[in-house]
Amino acid sequence: MNYNSILIPVLSLIFFACQNRTQESPSVPNSAHIEIESGNEKLNETISQSQNWDKTFNWSRIPMLREQLILDLESDPNETDQTLIRFLDDYEALVREFNNILFDLDNYDSLNTLAHAQDGNIHESAREFKKQAEKNGLRIASSEGMIYFTIHTGYLNSNVYNQLDLVSREFLSLYIEEIDHVCCKDAAIIISDRELVERALNWGNLLEKSYDLEYRRLAESRFNYYIDLVFIGIDNTPSFDWQTGYFNRGIFESMNEIIGKYPNSIAAKQFKEFSEVLVSENFKLTAKVKAYLDSR
């Protein structure tokens, strides 16, 4: 089975990392009974319900990590930013580790019925697996018909949000939004023009508030990422039309709205500078516009 291009929303600097794995089709575990019907090569798997996932995945690791986070936040509220970033780094590392285990399971195909079960025929072992994962801080997501673990944002937010200061709450809210509502998929922007521009605004606002905090690294990375998406776009949704070369009118109007409402924000200042160049070139991707983009 080919596990290429599974998208795992972990947020170390760029928040999303591609997990590229290629391996042979997994064999069926010893606890499974396979019956092959002659003539149509149909597989009918009956998976043992005695699968002890605790032996495969140490589910307690993420709950213990969150418990330690809460203790650390209570004991030293002056280092909330460092504590939270350290926790998220460890959380992301566990998600990657658990995914590596998941992809190597002999019965990955059975669990993968969570993503592509025909007629809703999900194996009971897969349902139990999902319950165990969600109970212990992992969410089951899928990409191109293949399941993978990601951070369970509801679990993350529970009992943590109220322990945070205002800037930390803002950071965590933006962090969770990146996981729950991804901006891009399959080399295309899948959120609206307005939301795209607002994300640049929001990360820029956080950047201004976190110059002396651990959040700055991620805030700066995401702000620059969204500015690039606004100005240039991405492979399948470029900001300048492929055929006409004109800039996306919806994005331009959204930028102007931000300039009017929040003229002193970092995002508005960059939007204003870029908008002036666009207007001077009648919104076309001219040599002058290209030179401006290259100089950033």
Same-domain check for residues 168 and 215? no
What per-residue confidence (pLDDT) applies to 117?
A: 63
Same-domain check for residues 194 and 220? yes
Please state, in angstroms and as integers, the Cα–Cα distance from residue 109 to each residue in 106, 211, 222, 293, following that order.
Answer: 8, 46, 35, 46
Same-domain check for residues 202 and 167? no
Same-domain check for residues 85 and 150? yes
Task: Look at residue 35 and tell me if it is in a domain.
Answer: no
For the whole model, what pTM was predicted?
Answer: 0.80
**What does each of the 296 residues of the chain score in pLDDT, given as a tens digit?**
444 334 334 343 334 333 333 333 333 333 333 333 333 333 334 334 335 666 788 999 999 999 999 999 999 999 999 999 999 999 999 999 999 999 998 888 888 888 876 666 777 788 889 999 999 999 998 887 889 999 999 999 888 998 999 999 999 999 999 999 999 988 999 999 999 999 999 999 999 999 999 999 999 999 999 999 999 999 999 999 999 999 999 999 999 999 999 999 999 999 999 999 999 999 999 999 999 999 98
Domain closes at, from 182, 204, 222: 182
Domain closes at, from 167, 182, 197: 182
Contact 198, 204 (CB under 8 A): no
Task: Look at residue 237 and tell me if it is in a domain.
Answer: yes
d(CA 54, CA 32): 18
What per-residue confidence (pLDDT) applies to 127?
A: 87
Q: From start to end of the chain, where are the E strands?
A: 2-8, 17-22, 33-37, 42-46, 138-143, 146-151, 184-185, 188-189, 233-234, 237-238
What per-residue confidence (pLDDT) applies to 255?
A: 98
Task: Look at residue 296 and tell me if it is in a domain.
Answer: yes
d(CA 291, CA 296): 9
Same-domain check for residues 273 and 150? no
Same-domain check for residues 173 and 199? no
Task: Look at residue 129 and tell me if it is in a domain.
Answer: yes
What per-residue confidence (pLDDT) applies to 43?
A: 35
Same-domain check for residues 209 and 227? yes
Provide the 10 A C-beta neighbour count for residue 55.
7
Task: Look at residue 131 and tell me if it is in a domain.
Answer: yes
State the residue range of the domain holding 285.
188-296
Domain closes at, from 182, 210, 233: 182
User: Nearest Cα to 202, choosing from 179, 177, 181?
Assistant: 177
Task: Look at residue 34 and tell me if it is in a domain.
Answer: no
Question: Of how many residues is the chain composed?
Answer: 296
